[in-house]
Chain A
Amino acid sequence: GAGVSQSPRYKVAKRGQDVALRCDPISGHVSLFWYQQALGQGPEFLTYFQNEAQLDKSGLPSDRFFAERPEGSVSTLKIQRTQQEDSAVYLCASSPSEEETQYFGPGTRLLVL
């Protein structure tokens, strides 16, 4: 079956631009996670949704980062006024329920110039 998909796969933004990154989880998966992976590092947690409810946003690095999942399926991570330090791979993962294996998408590689 279809896995987690993310779009765009690559995004180049000028410093100060706003960007929106999309995640399509596996159909029926309740839980959705966003992670940020800087170059040479492991992924770091950003935020977590259970259906449409954002239950944990403790990992969002600043108020420029905003995530939503309005209908409990597709999620969008928005970064306002991008900065060079935002350059990273943004990974989305979904799982059938809270305590099950997370399945990762291919990521969106963001480069801020």
Chain B
Amino acid sequence: AQSVTQLGSHVSVSEGALVLLRCNYSSSVPPYLFWYVQYPNQGLQLLLKYTSAATLVKGINGFEAEFKKSETSFHLTKPSAHMSDAAEYFCAVSNYGGATNKLIFGTGTLLAVQP
């Protein structure tokens, strides 16, 4: 079975500071990994995805994530936080090629950006 664990349900950073949101996964098959962002009263928007190509994945809005198989991690980073980054972030795993390409989500991390 696949699962995702997001460490830290709430993260607060100052504007301009590094953003680090943690995600660890469990999967018996090579995983596909995703980060989605959710703004209040909106649906989920894809930030980036890892599909077994380059281990460092660059996404939208200056975010990137690195797949580390040895650590079963896929942490999301951004060098300098902006006020508009305040939102909830979800890490998800899927195993394309399985019976259903459903996404299995973590419980989310709410990012607050302080001025």
Contact flag A43-B90 (CB < 8 Å), given A99-B96, A105-B43 = yes
A88 lies within 8 A of chain B by Cβ = no
Task: Verify B42–A106 contact, CB threshold 8 A.
Answer: yes
Task: Verify B90–A48 contact, CB threshold 8 A.
Answer: no
Q: Which of A58-97 contact B (CB under 8 A)?
A: 58-59, 91, 93, 95
Q: Which of A4, A43, A56, A58 contacts B103 (CB 8 A)?
A: A43
Task: Verify A48–B100 contact, CB threshold 8 A.
Answer: yes
Contact flag A91-B43 (CB < 8 Å), given A41-B108, A42-B90, A99-B96 = yes
Q: Contact string, B79-115, partner A, CB cutoff 8 A, digits 1/0?
A: 0000000000010100011011111111110000000
Task: Verify A56–B43 contact, CB threshold 8 A.
Answer: no
Q: Which of B29-43 contact A (CB under 8 A)?
A: 36, 41-43
Task: Verify B44–A43 contact, CB threshold 8 A.
Answer: yes
A44 lies within 8 A of chain B by Cβ = yes
| Closest Cβ–Cβ distance, residue A109 to chain B (whole Å) | 8
When C-beta atoms are compared, the residue in chain B nearest to A43 turns out to be B105
Task: Verify A56–B108 contact, CB threshold 8 A.
Answer: no
B72 lies within 8 A of chain A by Cβ = no
Rounded to whole angstroms, the CA-CA distance of A102 and B46 in the bound complex is 8
B45 lies within 8 A of chain A by Cβ = yes
Contact flag A45-B43 (CB < 8 Å), given A99-B96, A101-B49 = no
List B residues at the A interface (Cβ < 8 Å): 4, 36, 41-46, 49, 90, 92, 96-97, 99-108
